[in-house]
Structure 1
């Protein structure tokens, strides 16, 4: 098992949220343009700096697009890619429509792929939306149960980003009970500013959940936590 912790290597996020204990199953939920991909990349880069080997599977962009996104936020993944510590894969599923049986097979393929990778400790899938939107509730719950077993039995850490519209509220609540970490992102208007808000709904090892952080995405500093962020009791 790969026991330890992952830092975001963003001083404000690490100070407010703390580190993520591994192994863990982590959900990053939110609507379009709420910062899911940026937060996913933040923790991917943080995991690399924390000493883990990572695999990032993108259903929304190419390997080049992922590298450019990291570079635009002043993160250079080249060293980790060259040394084999970061693998980036593409899964082109965005505009496809399948039968329920094909969705079942696809979800099984994803879990089998994670199990087959022996060199990587941490996996990121950005995003799961196109894989889950038309899947049955049974298939989704089975998929997360298998992921839970992979985390518990094989010691791997898995981050999944999901659009809020992909699943209903009841199903998200059930998935939260399976997961170790659940971040919910949203977009809010505060005065004349449009900001993103991160709610920590669940965090393994934390004394309490419900922390709320407002942030902006800066092209130089990445995620920049705003000073009026507050923690809920």
Structure 2
């Protein structure tokens, strides 16, 4: 089945798209970095939702939830992807398997295995998401991580989008520098408290291929009834 040709992936959130210069460019290797509680997973799920609405096929590797938990999480923030999962447009791959033992000797090969699978199935997906890349790479050798980044960059050149979600300081700084430099897009997420209210923000460090102007900083909140809700920076700073 031929999939639609699009230049950018809409996030299905018009205001967020406008702040991102139209959406996530295709092709693109995108690195999303942030601590726990900064909205990384919701942001990536929003991108996945937008891609699915465009008719694109998404492979989603999650290290934090089961398939059922993942679908329920998206429903809680009004980006329900269950119908796309049932249609086969969305494939969810949980890394944590019941009964499996987590050992460093086997965990260090996970990233290599995922990379080879990503390469073998390249004709079956348009967007490949690793949430989180840091969990898959934490025990991998430096050469495995760098080989994966090179492989991902080469695959992206075929008109694909690969999104890597990472926690700050999870990997050696030498590897982090390499990852940030090789990626076409690099977005840092953080959370801060103002007047007793937790505000989240995206810093768009770079986003090559954007169709229009890109805001350097986007303040937002996660609204269960709406998903990602963009906040005026004047409100965030007040």
In the superposition, the TM-score normalised over structure 1's length comes to 0.88
Question: Do structure 1's residue 165 and structure 2's residue 169 form an aligned pair?
Answer: yes
- 5+ residue gaps, structure 1, are none
Instruction: Give the 3 Å change call, closer, same or farther, for CA 3–14 of structure 1 in structure 2.
Output: closer
Paired residues for 1:144-223 under 5 Å: 144-152=149-157, 154-206=158-210, 211-223=216-228
Q: Which residue number corresponds to residue 97 of structure 1?
A: 103
Q: CA deviation at 1:45?
A: 0.2
Unaligned stretches of 5+ residues in structure 2: none
For 1:104-119, list aligned pairs within 5 A.
Answer: 105-117=109-121, 118-119=123-124
**2:10 pairs with 7, 10, 17, which one?**
7
What is the alpha-carbon distance in structure 2 between the residues aligned to residue 172 and residue 70 of structure 1? 29
Shift of 1:48: 0.8
Q: Report the counterpart of residue 43 of structure 1 in structure 2.
A: 47
Contact 1:29–1:163 (CA under 8 A) maintained in structure 2: yes
Whether the 8 Å CA contact 2:132–2:164 is kept in 1: the answer is yes
Q: Note closer, same or farther for the CA distance 1:16–1:95 as it changes in structure 2 (3 Å cut).
A: farther
Local SS of the residue matching 1:108: helix
In structure 2, C-alpha distance between the alignment counterparts of 1:67 and 1:129, rounded to whole Å:
22
Aligned to 2:145: 140
Among residues 43, 56, 59, which one is paired with 1:52 in the alignment? 56
Structure 2 counterpart of 1:131: 136
Q: Indicate conservation of the 8 Å contact 1:103/1:131, yes or no.
A: yes
Larger mean CA deviation between 114-123 and 88-97 belongs to: 88-97
Q: Give the Cα separation in 2 of the matches to 1:20 and 1:130.
A: 24
Aligned residues: 227
2:35 alignment partner, one of 28, 31, 35:
31
User: What secondary structure does 1:60 align onto?
Assistant: coil
1:208 offset after TM fit, Å?
Answer: 7.2
Residue deviations 1:200-230, cap 9 Å, x none?
Answer: 1110124877711111111011111111269
Change over 3 Å in CA distance of 1:47–1:66 after alignment to 2: same
Partner Cα separation in structure 2 for residue 85 and residue 16 of structure 1: 27
Q: Given the two structures, how large is their TM-score scaled by the length of structure 2?
A: 0.87
> 1:171, CA displacement in angstroms?
2.9
SS at match of 2:88: coil
Matches within 5 A, 1:60-99: 60-92=64-96, 96-99=102-105
Cα distance, 1:125 vs structure 2 = 1.3
> The residue matched to 1:164 in structure 2 has which SS?
coil
